[in-house]
Structure 1
Amino acid sequence: MTQNPFTRAMTAALLGLALTSPARADTKDYEFQLVKNEVKQGEAVLDVRLIDKRTAKPVPDAVIFAKRIDMAPDSMEEMTSKIEQMPSPEPGVYRFKVKLTMAGGWRLSLGAKVQGETGTVENKLVLKAVK
């Protein structure tokens, strides 16, 4: 079967586009990690790293749109505290100021949008407040 030159050119262009387009990641390819799992009770600063699990590299410029801290690990999910996002100390690290009113287990829940990706990265991280 003979193809006309336009069909061959179009096929080649589509193949080239498919081969050069970057592979899209899934939101499951990203995760938040606490820099420290234990902090002092009271006013505290939490640093959280967002990484691409495929490369283990930090992910800068994500937009954190959901944040909550509560005592769910100690069966007190209704015990919440104020959480405020602060400027990032370095690319890929997200900083939060919290008031940990009691010693014990705390759960930090985060939701974020990663630049260039569809979907939401969501993680629940457990930390411990100590006296």
Structure 2
Amino acid sequence: MRAKPCLRAAPLALLSAIAVSTATLAGPEDYEFQLVESEIKQGEGATVTVRLIDKRTGNPVVDAVVFATRMDMQPDGMEAMTTPVEAMPSEDPGAYRFQANLIMAGGWRFSIAAKVQGEEETVESRLVFEAVE
């Protein structure tokens, strides 16, 4: 007795569905924060802008929820020198703006963590930039 064509097609359809769903799963390594500028004017109210990019497509990620930020002078050996970071609105899709008081010129590290909608894991990054006079 021969199997009906629709019964033979069912396993293929199931395998295709599994392959498609596996291909769409992403992890934190599929996303990247990038500094818009690597040199930022030193002083009170300095603006640091980063983009969150989906590395698989090159497209900006909008509506990520940034929940952890830290800015310190670790690149210049002064990790204990920190400054508060305040989120600011941005009209550029995939760009996230922050304000900080960069009280000293030199190397700064911006640590940032965010949740991307639809992803289980946290996207984290440590970006280094130079505060210039």
| TM-score, scaled to structure 2 | 0.86
Equivalent pairs counted in the alignment come to 131
- After TM superposition, list the pairs within 5 Å mapping 1:100-115 onto structure 2: 100-115=102-117
Which residue identity is paired with 2:114?
Answer: A
Match of 2:78 among 70, 76, 79: 76
- CA RMSD in angstroms comes to 2.1
Matching residue of 1:99: 101
- 8 A contact 1:66–1:112 mirrored in 2: yes
Matching residue of 1:18: 18
Per-residue CA distance 1:2-60 (angstroms, 9 max, x = gap): 76999768646634532553620111010100000001111211110000111111110
Q: Residue 111 of structure 2: SS of its match in structure 1?
A: strand
Which residue identity is paired with 2:107?
Answer: G
Q: Residue 67 of structure 1: SS of its match in structure 2?
A: strand
Per-residue CA distance 1:44-103 (angstroms, 9 max, x = gap): 111100001111111101000110000000000000001000112211000001110100
- 8 A contact 1:84–1:98 mirrored in 2: yes
- The runs of 5 or more residues in structure 1 that have no matched partner are none
CA distance 1:12–1:55, change in 2 (3 Å) = closer
